[in-house]
Amino acid sequence: MILLGHASTHAGPWAEKFDPPPAGLVGLVTDLVERLGAPGAGLAVALENLFPPIPSEVILPLAGFTAGQGRMNLFAAIVWTTIGSVVGAMALYAVGVALGRDRIRAIAARLPLIKLSDVDRTEAWFARHGGKAVFFGRMIPIFRSLISIPAGVERMPFATFLLYTTLGSLIWNTAFVMAGYALGENWRSVEPYVGTFQNAVIAVCALAVGFFVVSRLAGRRRSRSARDAEPVPSTPGPYGPGARVEPSGLPGADRPAHAVRGRLYGTVADSIVRSQQSTRFRAEGP
């Protein structure tokens, strides 16, 4: 407990070597770390889980650098940042629980190009690999926060969620805190590498979404073409077998069902017409 509480509340000589930005998100998190020490780093990481624009690649190496300057205990920095990660993940897990499967399925049913079968497959995959998804997701930018929501939606056992979240967060946080500790005043050099990793993740996600949209649209087009190419079932016309129609020039007159004034040809049709004419002639008389 002494280690966890060992933190500086004022900059002292450290401020002469590091002057945090006065504004913006980076300025906010560096100010939290400067003023509150390890608990401030944990609070900043918790906020980073809830508001992804806050950069963890700044918070964690900064905490390591601060520990290297003797202004914070290294072990406390790792523990407090991991606690912050878990607290933020728990809040998003609660959001997923509040949303629930039924509401997610209702939303998916209204989305274009999305089928409920897609949701079913996703749920089946998460049921099999949810633990690994949460564990590795805690070490992937963007997914670090988002992975907690489907875990809540699917009601992953909370103890399991807590275990994998803690382990994944501990590995991620330790790596970056130690990087800042080792790099010292060059701790900011970590940020470009993480930014490149994050951009790669965004690019892969964009490609995956693009492939999904294109393949789904192509599938719909193929289904529509297949329906249009299906032969129309032949049904007997109103004039009997063997009848054909001479178009009369009226719209739709080339089809037996619409050839009101067309002339009928064909063995059976001719017999019907001649019979009707003969009956009418006898009824009228000479």
| Residue 135: predicted pLDDT | 94
- Residue 137 burial (C-beta neighbours within 10 Å; 0-12, 13-18, 19+): buried
Q: Over the chain, what is the mean pLDDT? A: 74
Q: Is the pLDDT of residue 29 over 50?
A: yes
pLDDT at 231: 62
Written as one letter, the residue type at 250 is L
Q: What is the CA angle 101-86-171, rounded to 5?
A: 115
Single-letter amino acid, residue 119: V
Report, as an integer, the average pLDDT of 182-188: 83
Query: What percent of the chain is modeled with pLDDT above 70?
Result: 67
Structure tokens at 243: 């009848």
CA–CA gap between residue 50 and residue 29 (Å, rounded)? 14
The band of 253, judged by pLDDT with boundaries at 50, 70 and 90, is very low
Q: Is 0.75 surpassed by the pTM of this model?
A: no
Share of the chain above pLDDT 90, in %: 20
Q: What is the pLDDT of residue 53?
A: 62
Per-residue pLDDT, averaged over 165-192, amounts to 88
Q: Which residue has the higher pLDDT, 11 or 209?
A: 209
268 versus 3: which is more confidently predicted? 268
Tens digit of pLDDT for each residue in 96-111?
999 888 888 888 888 8
Query: Is residue 211 predicted with pLDDT exceeding 90?
Result: no
23 pLDDT higher than 60: no
- Burial class for 28, CB neighbours closer than 10 Å (0-12, 13-18, 19+): middle
The answer to whether 63 and 38 have CB atoms below 8 angstroms apart is: yes
> Which of 15-19, 158-162, 205-209 shows the lowest mean pLDDT across its residues?
15-19
